[in-house]
């Protein structure tokens, strides 16, 4: 029998993408922080009731969060042992030591009951990852961070439109990040978002975002010239990416409907394998929602070939 490969992902290609890309190309402003960036910011600021900044990737949003948390060499950062490399790299680049916490048996998210034993006087932050868009136990994590004066940076790369007890993921930590990589629910090809949940951090965030300069204030006409005032990098996304992303934001309900249909189809039609004891399907905690980001199943790797 011919083997059939299911594509890992297919970007959702409808909407106004071509119209908006043409608009950007003929506008003369294709670098960052223009009209489409503003439209995306307005949408996300309202969605998260926070300040947000569009970045070149989820990775660069994590790097910004590490800079804004003033991570220094030797600081310890706790994160799940099951995640994507960017979660760790962003902090390794600041000289931090990564401390991996185990994930839960029922769901591969950080086990909040296993964190306390990992704390030392060098622990600076916890980075929960909402794997496949399913929420971590945020009440426990928030309590832990408050009791031990730790910063929470939520890696919500997979988690756009998912929530914990009704509140959007990315809005619990001091910072949250999203990814708009091609594989994600809404995409700009490559792209990301930094969610800044404490208004006091916004001014510095905007400076780091624009290569350590106050160019954003200059563009708003608040100052006559812009200058170098902090460290930073080129974290801002181009208008080309912002235009593409905005075209996806406009059809987000349609995208989510289709993603959820596919997720539930997998879940229902693979139940038979679970009943036969061959696989374990995702066990969604009652406080979490499903956003249809990705579907996974657990199998015993030694036996999986016989499924």
Ligand X SMILES: Cc1ncc(COP(=O)(O)O)c(C=O)c1O
Cα–Cα distance, 188 to 238 (Å, whole number)? 10
CB 72 within 8 A of CB 95: yes
Applying CB under 6 A, which of residues 15, 32, 34, 58 lies at the interface with ligand X?
Answer: 58
Residue range at the interface with ligand X (CB under 6 A); choices 14-22, 153-161, 200-208, 212-220: 153-161
Residues 6+ apart with CB under 8 A from 192: 54, 55, 56, 57, 58, 59, 60, 61, 157, 177, 178, 179, 180, 181, 237
The answer to whether residue 157 forms part of the interface with ligand X (CB under 6 A) is yes
Q: How far is the CB of 303 from ligand X (least distance, A)?
A: 27
Cα–Cα distance, 249 to 215 (Å, whole number)? 27
Applying CB under 6 A, which of residues 128, 168, 173, 192 lies at the interface with ligand X?
Answer: 192
Applying CB under 6 A, which of residues 51, 181, 215, 259 lies at the interface with ligand X?
Answer: 181
Of 90, 293, 263, nearest to 187 by C-alpha is 293
Instruction: Convert residues 161-180 into a mask of x (bound to ligand X by CB under 6 A) and - (unbound).
Output: ------------------x-
Residue range at the interface with ligand X (CB under 6 A); choices 3-11, 53-61, 114-122, 255-263: 53-61
Q: Which is nearer to ligand X, 164 or 214 (CB)?
A: 164
Q: What single string gives the DSSP state of each residue in 75-137?
A: -EEEEESSS-HHHHHHHHTTTPEEEEEPBPSSSSSB-GGGSGGG--TTEEEE--B-GGG----
Instruction: Convert residues 203-242 into a mask of x (bound to ligand X by CB under 6 A) and - (unbound).
Output: ----------------------------------------
Residues lying near ligand X in the complex (CB under 6 A) are found at 57-59, 83-84, 86-87, 129, 155, 157-158, 179, 181, 192
């Amino acid at each position: 029998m011919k083997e059939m490969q299911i594509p890992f992902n297919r970007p959702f290609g409808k909407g106004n993408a071509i119209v908006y890309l043409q608009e950007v190309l003929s506008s003369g402003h294709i670098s960052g922080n223009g009209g489409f960036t503003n439209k995306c910011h307005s949408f996300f600021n309202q969605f998260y009731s926070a300040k947000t900044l569009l970045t070149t990737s989820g990775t660069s949003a994590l790097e910004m969060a590490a800079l804004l948390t003033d991570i220094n060499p030797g600081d310890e950062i706790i994160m799940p042992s099951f995640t994507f490399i960017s979660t760790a790299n962003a902090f390794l680049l600041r000289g931090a030591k990564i401390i991996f916490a185990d994930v839960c048996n029922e769901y591969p998210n950080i086990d909040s009951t296993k964190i306390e034993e990992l704390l030392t006087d060098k622990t600076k932050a916890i980075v929960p990852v909402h794997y496949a868009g399913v929420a971590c136990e945020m009440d426990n994590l928030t309590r832990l961070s408050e009791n031990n004066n730790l910063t929470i940076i939520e890696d919500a790369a997979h988690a756009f439109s998912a929530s914990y007890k009704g509140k959007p993921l990315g809005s619990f930590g001091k910072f949250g990040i999203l990814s708009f990589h091609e594989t994600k629910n809404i995409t700009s090809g490559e792209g990301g978002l930094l969610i800044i949940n404490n208004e006091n951090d916004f001014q510095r965030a905007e400076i780091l975002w624009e290569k350590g300069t106050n160019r954003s204030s200059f563009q708003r006409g608040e100052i006559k010239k812009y200058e170098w005032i902090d460290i930073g990098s080129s974290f801002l996304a181009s208008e080309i990416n912002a235009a593409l992303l905005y075209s996806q934001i406009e059809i987000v309900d349609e995208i989510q409907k289709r993603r959820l249909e596919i997720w539930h189809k997998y879940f229902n039609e693979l139940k038979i394998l679970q009943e036969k004891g061959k696989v374990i399907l995702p066990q969604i905690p009652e406080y979490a929602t499903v956003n249809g980001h990705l579907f996974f199943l657990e199998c015993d790797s030694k036996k999986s070939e016989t499924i």
